[in-house]
Amino acid sequence: MKYAAKRVATLLVTMIIVSLLAFLAFDLISGDPAQMMLGTEATEEGLAALRAELGLDRPLPIRYLDWLTGFFRGDLGMSYHYHEPVWTLIAPKVRVTLWLSLLAFLLITVVSIPLGLLTAGRGEGRLAGLHTAFNQLCMAVPAFFIGILLTWAFGVTLKWFTAGAFPDMTQDFAGSMKYLFFAALALSIPRIAMTARMLRSTVAGEMEKDYVRTAISRGNDRRGVLFRHVLKNALPPVIAFLAQTMAELIASSIVVEQVFGIPGLGRFLVACISNRDYQVVQAIVVILAFWVVLAGTLADLIQQRIDPRLRLGGAS
């Protein structure tokens, strides 16, 4: 428990530092938003009034605190480009991205763990070289290229879905899930290869250990040893890797959303960077950063929970 408390404290400190850095960076570059909103013909009085309305005339620390408390109340300020509250703009997009990541994560877990175990039982043999080559090839294919290939195969050729026409999630939930499935596939294929490979090599490493040799020499068959003893030791790093995957998924979904024309957080982020709508960019970056830090903490906590060896080490 002590470890968990310490980890959560670190999490909070990291979040504060990250949000402070993001706030400072975007405050520095965004220049004068009032000028941007009113254009070049704005009068001095008009500018001053708008600055007062946006709260830009107050000192920096107060604005930061205000922004941070607003962040947790769901008040992220106004978009200078769309003239709408940031939260209203991004709330539907957060939902889409969450579903996309969730689908991809499910796919990765459901496919990679059985795949890793299935291939782990086999010895290295002559195929070892081919295996490494295949792994390198998997890592060489960018997720968005897989996305384009999937669009071509299933969207353009087979017409299983219409590329670029994402159904409204609130009206056609099943249709939007079907659409998201193809994007999730593009996101998960490289990760499935990595996770399966990792599980395979951890299991192979464990199989060399003394306790396995003892168990086998006492008459257990390899399969039984694999499931009863080895798996317990091989899973913790894989689970931690999967938690880390949640962070990575968010990052690669930025590009994959663009491929499939999915109105998610990542695609909106890119659009706002091009529009220089810093108020929104700042909000999305901080949300994504919180997500990443949270996933990392979760990975540590889970790993520490399921691996007693770490629990002892972590307490000291």
- Select 113 or 272, whichever has its Cβ closest to other proteins: 272
Q: Which is nearer to other proteins, 203 or 256 (CB)?
A: 256
**Which one, of 247, 286, 16, lies nearest residue 8 by Cα?**
16
CB atoms within 10 A of CB 226: 19
What is the footprint of other proteins within residues 132-151 (CB under 8 A)? Answer: 132-133, 136-137, 139-142, 144-145, 148-149, 151
Binding mask 232-251 for other proteins (x = CB under 8 A): ---------------xx-xx
Q: Report in angstroms the alpha-carbon separations of 160 from 151, 177, 262, 266, 281.
A: 10, 13, 16, 24, 34
Secondary structure class of 85 (helix, strand, coil): strand
The pair of structure tokens assigned to 91 is 């709330």
Q: Which stretch binds other proteins (CB under 8 A): 78-86, 196-204, 229-237, 291-299?
A: 291-299
**CA-based nearest residue to 21, from 294, 296, 282, 293:** 282
Among 86, 242, 292, 301, binds other proteins (CB under 8 A): 292
Per CB under 8 A, does 212 bind other proteins?
A: no
> How far is C-alpha 242 from the chain's CA centre?
11
Task: Please name the residue that has the structure tokens 């830009």.
Answer: 56
> Which positions lie near other proteins, rule CB under 8 A?
14, 17, 22, 25-26, 29, 128-129, 132-133, 136-137, 139-142, 144-145, 148-149, 151-152, 155-156, 163, 247-248, 250-252, 254-255, 258-259, 269-270, 273-274, 276, 278, 281, 285, 288-289, 292-293, 296
